[in-house]
Structure 1
Amino acid sequence: MVFNRVTGIWKRLQTHLQHRGAPLILCSGTLVLGMGALAWLSNDQSGALKASSPSLLDLLDEVGSEAKRERKKSEQTRQPQPPRAISWSSPLAKQCSGFDSKVTNRLQAQQRTLKQRRVSVATDPTNFGERFRVNPWGVALNPDPRVVVLHETVYSLQSAVNTFMTPHPRDADQVSYHTVIGLDGKIVDLVDPLKRAYGAGYSAFLGEWAVTNAKIRGSVNNFALHLSLETPQDGRNSRSSHSGYSSAQYDSLAIVLKDWIDRFGFTPAAITTHRHVDLGGERGDPRSFDWQELQTRLAALKALCP
């Protein structure tokens, strides 16, 4: 009978300690009761009971360890705070006049054949995904494309395309851009702009990022459009600069950007670089980019006059 009473006390004690959020420090009366029960049981003749009953200290240690594991798990899955905002002063200025008529005529002619000029390539599904509307903690996300990140391929356009067509099961290997522009002005679309391309890792723009996986740091991918320029031959290395991009590339770049601006409604000031959004300080692309070349073309397309 006494054995049954003590067993009942132990069960209630275990339930109390294991209950989520229950305090680890017991009131003194319960502690004395438990220790007294253990002392009595230590003199009991039942060898089976001695062999199977844990000590109070063992139980307290077990519950304490469980609480530590819960706290650690909670800390690991806690929503991270967004990074400190880094200002971005766009090199693109407002321009409503002073257009070069030759540039305007050339670009307008290219605009009329844009659909025919664009080539679509099927990127492997492991290298892109859906834009998230809710983060892992249930907080709403705005997935609308509203920033353009400019990149360069470093190697050839075909090398980049081959990489995106290759399956990459590991998160760390997955990569893609929405569009790549070749040295000859060729426009290759790789990921639908409504989908999420994996163009930037640990990144933010004006202090904004989106965490879409609790195990991975935030990035701009959920609300960014990624566009890459094919690197010239003399830039296929790790040096800080190269000979620059071709006139044909800047033409195609301006036309694609104008198309996205009209479609998604963001301002030219939201066109930035991988170097700027990268929070790890490891990216420097697009190297040798000439903002004046882009300025001239976007102005000719009347994209820089509100």
Structure 2
Amino acid sequence: MVPVSLIQRLERAADLIRQHPLTAVGAVTTGSLAVVLFIWVALDRSKQSHAGDRPSLMDLLEQVESDKNAKSPPSVTSPRAPRSRSWTSPLAKQCTGIDSALRSRLNELKRTSGSWRTTVPIHPTNFGERFSKDSYGAPLDPSPRVVVMHETVYSLTSAINTFQTPHPMDEDQASYHALIGLGGKVVDIVDPLKRAYGAGNSAFLGEWAVTNPRLRGSLNNFALHVSLETPESGANDASTHTGYTSRQYDALAIVLSDWIDRFNLTPAAITTHRHVDLGGERSDPRSFNWASLQYRLSALGDLCDS
């Protein structure tokens, strides 16, 4: 049985529709839309357990607004190396005036290198692979093209012990490709095809490689490092010491000559830690005699094409 009050309300509504037909149509349309939306929301809520991955109407509206305001992420580029520092090599071209006796002596040393040259393994945290891309995805040329000369400051044994000690933190890692003792003994530490950690914040002719985004760039990725054992007089922070021995210069010339030939380097690519260091803290190799190296490399024929 239909209540009387409901019948009376329906009769009034019918009278209003007859008197205002256009208004009634608009109201019915609006009301229908509201009913449809109400039913859609009700159904959506009732079926959440069966359509958990279906977005709600509010989710869709928020997504549209988010897409409108979204911005492309800023592009990240590799940090640029500092302004290039010019390098004029002290090694001059020399095709004449060669000391034949010195040439014979150095060639004999090369022939008997097994008696004064050895390889010592170090801990793998102190060397690594050369990178073909930097930390930002930019391509790198990992081929060796600069030689950096250093000194140990303390003994050869002390340097080797340091390199054989694990250093899990990048900031503490250190190594050279080769060490040269006061008596002319050469200790090969890192394969030249691998990356030795001879220089920290460094660059050569305006080039470095950033291989750790937490640290500034260095030239280790394309450098070869050789270090001379420091004489006892250099175990301090003085700017000079008594210098290196004749046997050290002999061995150094042979090591460098091998790298020049193997990697097609020019003598102008041989530089010092002092020159490539960007922190202004390195001065090695102190008391280095470039004339002694010139004398030997010319005897080996490595300065005629420079």
Fold agreement, TM-score > 0.5: yes
Following TM superposition, by how much is the alpha carbon of 1:84 offset from its aligned partner in structure 2, in angstroms? Answer: 1.2
Distance change in 2, residues 1:17/1:295 (3 Å): farther
Taking the TM superposition and a 5 Å limit, the aligned residue runs for 1:86-235 are 86-235=85-234
Instruction: Please tell me whether Structure 1 or Structure 2 has the larger radius of gyration of its CA atoms.
Output: 2
Between the aligned partners of 1:152 and 1:166, the Cα distance in structure 2 is: 19
TM-score (structure 1 length as normaliser) = 0.78
Counterpart amino acid of residue 69 in structure 2: P
Distance change in 2, residues 1:168/1:4 (3 Å): same
Counterpart amino acid of residue 129 in structure 1: G
Following TM superposition, by how much is the alpha carbon of 1:185 offset from its aligned partner in structure 2, in angstroms? Answer: 0.5
Q: Is the 8 A contact 2:142 2:222 kept in 1?
A: yes
1:266 and 2:256 matched = no
Between the aligned partners of 1:218 and 1:250, the Cα distance in structure 2 is: 31
Following TM superposition, by how much is the alpha carbon of 1:266 offset from its aligned partner in structure 2, in angstroms? Answer: 0.7
Between the aligned partners of 2:283 and 2:64, the Cα distance in structure 1 is: 56
- The alignment partner of 1:225 has SS state of strand
Which of the residues 69, 73, 76 maps onto 1:23?
A: 69
What does the per-residue CA deviation read over 1:114-151, in whole Å, with 9 as the maximum and x for residues that have no partner? 24421111010000000111223322211111100000
Taking the TM superposition and a 5 Å limit, the aligned residue runs for 1:65-76 are none
Q: Percent identity at matched positions? A: 61
Q: Is the 8 A contact 2:116 2:184 kept in 1?
A: no
Following TM superposition, by how much is the alpha carbon of 1:106 offset from its aligned partner in structure 2, in angstroms? Answer: 1.4
Following TM superposition, by how much is the alpha carbon of 1:100 offset from its aligned partner in structure 2, in angstroms? Answer: 1.9
Distance change in 2, residues 1:12/1:174 (3 Å): same
Between the aligned partners of 2:190 and 2:66, the Cα distance in structure 1 is: 49
Q: Is the 8 A contact 2:78 2:138 kept in 1?
A: no
- The alignment partner of 2:150 has SS state of strand
Counterpart amino acid of residue 155 in structure 1: Y
Counterpart amino acid of residue 147 in structure 1: V
- The alignment partner of 2:118 has SS state of strand
Runs of 4+ with deviation above 6 angstroms: none
Taking the TM superposition and a 5 Å limit, the aligned residue runs for 1:267-306 are 267-306=266-305
Compute the RMSD of aligned alpha carbons: 2.1
> Any unmatched runs of 5+ in structure 1?
25-66
TM-score (structure 2 length as normaliser) = 0.78
Q: Is the 8 A contact 2:119 2:189 kept in 1?
A: yes
What does the per-residue CA deviation read over 1:134-169, in whole Å, with 9 as the maximum and x for residues that have no partner? 223322211111100000000000000000000001
Counterpart amino acid of residue 274 in structure 2: R
- The alignment partner of 1:160 has SS state of helix
Counterpart amino acid of residue 176 in structure 2: Y
Between the aligned partners of 1:208 and 1:270, the Cα distance in structure 2 is: 13
